[in-house]
Amino acid sequence: MKTDWDNVAEWYDSYLIGDDTYQAAVIAPNILRLINPQKGMRILDVACGQGYFAHLCAEKGAEVVGLDQSSVLIEKAKTGAKEHELYIEGNAETLDAYKLETFDTVFSVLAFENIKNIAGVMSGIDQVLKDDGCLVIVLLHPAFRIPQHADWGYDAKKSVQYRKVEKYLSEITIPIELKPFKGAQTKKVETVTFHRSLQWYMKMFRNAGFAITNIEEWISHKKSEAGPRQHAEDTARKEIPMFLALELKRR
């Protein structure tokens, strides 16, 4: 199975429209705060998709390069590009093959879960990141958000919603059936995601010569509609984070 997003590029591009998405309401303001893009900075977005976050960095005056293996998403990124933005179709696992200049900051949002060879990605980042540069990675929280192996549960006696986790420490390859527009796809569209534990990532980063210097856990902005479980659901959202943000620098 492949992590090829070309087949669902139109769906994914439409998914990010509006102000109520997780990308717009949660990730964008937080990652801009962490990166603090500004004029004179050079920033690389690894697995940039249609350039959603890269565009935001460029709007702040930074020079931005985005790389993604989906030709369809890269073309969409180029369509929305303005001055100081460059988008390249390429594989993040062989980043060092593209002869890029060095960057002040490298970031990747919700992409490491869809990449098999993280060691290759980290090796490439090591080649293009300045000595005092910063790497920022945003993941679906691997302790709580494990597709097909974690879900919500509800304790009626306590009126408490909780997160049920069936597997965590094992590295798991998980097939995912994607849902494009209704009627737009005649065949089943699948990709694959890779679950890894926090200690797996820690060892991978350490072996690549990086240390985690900051950790943030971001919660969902969604609110439940009125009902008997509204309070329990909203409380669970505040207590159980959806995203994990990691800031790394060289050891």
Mean pLDDT score, 108-117: 95
CB 32 within 8 Å of CB 56? yes
CA atoms within 13 A on the CB side of 201: 24
Evaluate if pTM is beyond 0.75.
yes
Strand 210-218's sheet: what is its strand order?
Answer: 85-89, 63-68, 42-46, 103-109, 129-140, 243-250, 210-218
Longest dimension (CA), the chain: 60
Predicted pLDDT of residue 1: 43
Mean pLDDT score, 143-158: 97
The topology (CATH level 3) of 6-142+196-225+241-250 is: Rossmann fold (3.40.50)
154-199: pLDDT as tens digits: 999 999 999 999 999 999 999 987 665 455 555 666 788 999 999 9
| pLDDT band at residue 7 under the 50/70/90 scheme | low
| pLDDT band at residue 59 under the 50/70/90 scheme | very high
One-letter amino acid identity for 137? I
120 vs 207: CA distance, rounded Å: 12
List, in sequence order, every residue forming a beta bridge with 88; answer none if it has no partner: 67
Per domain, the residue ranges of the chain are 6-142+196-225+241-250
| pLDDT band at residue 12 under the 50/70/90 scheme | confident
Helix or strand run (H / E) with residue 103: strand 103-109
Rounded to 5 degrees, what are φ and ψ at 242?
A: -95, -35
